[in-house]
Structure 1
Amino acid sequence: MNGFSRRGFLKSGALAAGALATGVFWRQGPALAAPQEKARVFFSREISAQALQKLYAQVNQGMGGKIAVKLHTGEPHGPNILPREMVRAFQATLPGSTIVECNVLYPGPRQSTQGHLETLRTNGWTFCPVDIMDADGDVDLPVPGGKWLKKLAVGKHLLEYDSLLVLTHFKGHTMGGFGGSLKNIAIGCASGKVGKAQIHREGDELWSGGPRFMERMVEGGKAITTHFGPRITYINVLRNMSVDCDCAGTSAAKPTAPDLGILASTDILAVDKASVDMIYALPEAQRRDLVERIESRSGLRQLSYMKEQGMGNDAYELITL
């Protein structure tokens, strides 16, 4: 599994399971204090606007100016997308913030800007401006050290923002295995006509999956993280975690894992690994479907390749608020 074995995840998951059972998350005493080099990931069991505010306060030090809030607004009537009222109450506390999206590559209403705007209204994203960032085309961002991509075409409007808040509904994904913060920015900020095809295409095959797709997705994400530098932060909401992405709309499979809470960090690798660790820590019956989806798609390659690309730290301290 390219550096992240099922056995290793289950071992870390067992620790997380014990922590879940006791309500204590790696908040050791002085003799077992976490090394300073570990990334910090903040956790709340509560899923609410208030919890989002508390978590964001812990990780927002580099944020300022015009803030783009990247989230998945979903296909029409999607049953699992983030609750609009929760996001509305949270977004109201973020001065200068705008929800941002890009058009999609696959056929559907969100393939065009007009259809996308209509879907936003259908799904209740009407409480603040929503910027379809590739409505006026795209621009290229470099991918430092990319093996597959040297540049990524992103929505042109992305350059108008000073900071990026990645607000992610963590769940499974048909091609990615799971969709966390990495998928949210790599696919989500890529322009619909050009950038998404750059990530999804391998040779003559457009919808190519597997480990190399994960690597292209990571490289796409690296273009975004490099552009924003310290002015980016990540929040994963572990709620209604279907094996399918919110792009599946009403056809998404019913979630079989319980809601777990919210994770936040300034480290993209740490926040996505902590999310995956929590899935693996669940009892077998609750984790089975998501784990099968992750492993059958080589989804863990997202994590190992982010580490290889120097995008974050896979060693983290989980701090419960």
Structure 2
Amino acid sequence: MQSEVYFSSIDSKKHKSPLFKISKLLNRCEPSSVFSAGELIAVKTHFGELGNTAFIRPVFLRPVLEMLNKLEAKPFLTDTNTLYVGMRTNSVDHLHNATLNGFNYSTLQVPVIIADGLRGDNSTEVPIDGELLKSVKLASEIVSADGMLVVSHFKGHEVTGFGGAIKNISMGCSCRQGKLDMHSDSRPFVKADLCTACGRCLLFCASKAIDINPKACINDKCTGCAMCISVCPHGAIQINWNASSATTQKKMAEYAKGVFNALDSKLIFLTVILSVSPACDCYPGNDRPVVSDIGFAASKDPVALDKACHDLVIKAYGGKDPFKEKYPDVDSTVQLAHAEKLGIGTTDYKLIEID
């Protein structure tokens, strides 16, 4: 059975506001059948790394929040801390970063909550019985929400080819250990020339998996929580980015399945296809877009939505895949195929254009 994907082009001969278009797209997804009055609804987006300018403009969230307020729900903006060390490694820096990028109460009149806690370890394990994973570790405040409206920026990604709705609810909704699960097939390692043997990592390692002799060294007791990465003041503990693209994409799909299980499928997805940068918004900078601005799309099916967005980008690029040109060794369709296999959506979609 085909899934419906609603699309509105950024083109506007009658000077219609893009915000009005977003409202019409969301209404076609029948939000009143998904969310109810009094429910705590997470609005999951990406706050953008400081210095990056390709991330979603905060103003595009206004019609999303207005719609939820009209339903008398209780929305909150949310994102999770990053695996790498940057301006979003812990909630203190992350909230500061979000404020500087325009995601704050004064601009959007809703609270901002970092969903995986102060240091990225506030998580809830959700069973999924997947092909690669039997359970996933999701940010606790995502799991505790009554539902979620997912606002994604469609763009390129060097590991997954492209990043859209599936990536937003997998990488974006996991705790730090979950992100490590998806990115790496081994435990972190210590770069000895950066280690000062200060011992701070020992204080935060619950598994007693770190020895200092004379520099820090991670032993076989490591459970992969990745807490040591975030607390090392010198950036000496680093990630083995050794998972294959296909493995990472399959694990992403399985984490997305966990989100559907945790929220009982109470999700709606909106994707912004503007400033389609060739790489992730996690970088502290961005290159020029690979295509001109396209528009907005919405659906209850993240697989159909990602497939439609990918097809729209290919069409805008003259029938070729710009992400495949940039990352020739990456097959970005793996995430779609595995998510479809897991039953969270279908690649068979009907694109319904909304003026």
Q: Which has the larger radius of gyration?
A: 2
TM-score, normalised by the number of residues in structure 2: 0.75
- Decide whether the 8 Å contact of 1:209 with 1:297 is kept in 2: no
- Decide whether the 8 Å contact of 2:124 with 2:143 is kept in 1: no
The amino acid that maps onto 1:222 is: K
Question: Aligned partners of 2:63, 2:268: CA distance in 1, in Å?
Answer: 19
- Shift in alpha-carbon separation, 1:230–1:152, aligned structure 2, 3 A: closer
**Match among 76, 82, 94 for residue 98 of structure 1:** 76
The reply on whether 1:123 has 2:101 as its aligned counterpart is yes
In the TM superposition, residue 90 of structure 1 has moved relative to its aligned partner by: 3.5
- Shift in alpha-carbon separation, 1:237–1:176, aligned structure 2, 3 A: same
CA RMSD of aligned residues (A): 1.9
Aligned counterpart, 2:301: 267
**Match among 104, 116, 119 for residue 134 of structure 1:** 116
**Match among 45, 53, 57 for residue 9 of structure 2:** 45
Q: Report how many aligned residue pairs link the two structures.
A: 282
**Match among 272, 282, 305 for residue 237 of structure 1:** 272
Structure 2 SS opposite 1:92: helix
Gaps of 5+ in 1: 1-36
Gaps of 5+ in 2: 11-16, 188-238
**Match among 253, 268, 287 for residue 253 of structure 1:** 287
Question: Aligned partners of 1:53, 1:280: CA distance in 2, in Å?
Answer: 26
Aligned counterpart, 2:331: 298
In the TM superposition, residue 130 of structure 1 has moved relative to its aligned partner by: 1.1
- Decide whether the 8 Å contact of 2:324 with 2:331 is kept in 1: no
- Decide whether the 8 Å contact of 1:50 with 1:90 is kept in 2: no
**Match among 179, 183, 191 for residue 200 of structure 1:** 183
The reply on whether 1:178 has 2:150 as its aligned counterpart is no
Structure 2 SS opposite 1:281: helix
* Deviation larger for 143-152 or 298-307: 143-152
Aligned counterpart, 1:55: 25
Aligned counterpart, 2:148: 164
TM-score, normalised by the number of residues in structure 1: 0.82
Aligned counterpart, 1:146: 130
In the TM superposition, residue 209 of structure 1 has moved relative to its aligned partner by: 3.2
> Which protein, 1 or 2, shows the higher relative CO under an 8 Å CA cutoff with sep ≥ 6?
1
In the TM superposition, residue 199 of structure 1 has moved relative to its aligned partner by: 1.3
Structure 1 SS opposite 2:88: helix
In the TM superposition, residue 305 of structure 1 has moved relative to its aligned partner by: 1.1
The amino acid that maps onto 1:308 is: K
The reply on whether 1:314 has 2:342 as its aligned counterpart is no
In the TM superposition, residue 143 of structure 1 has moved relative to its aligned partner by: 4.3
Structure 2 SS opposite 1:262: strand
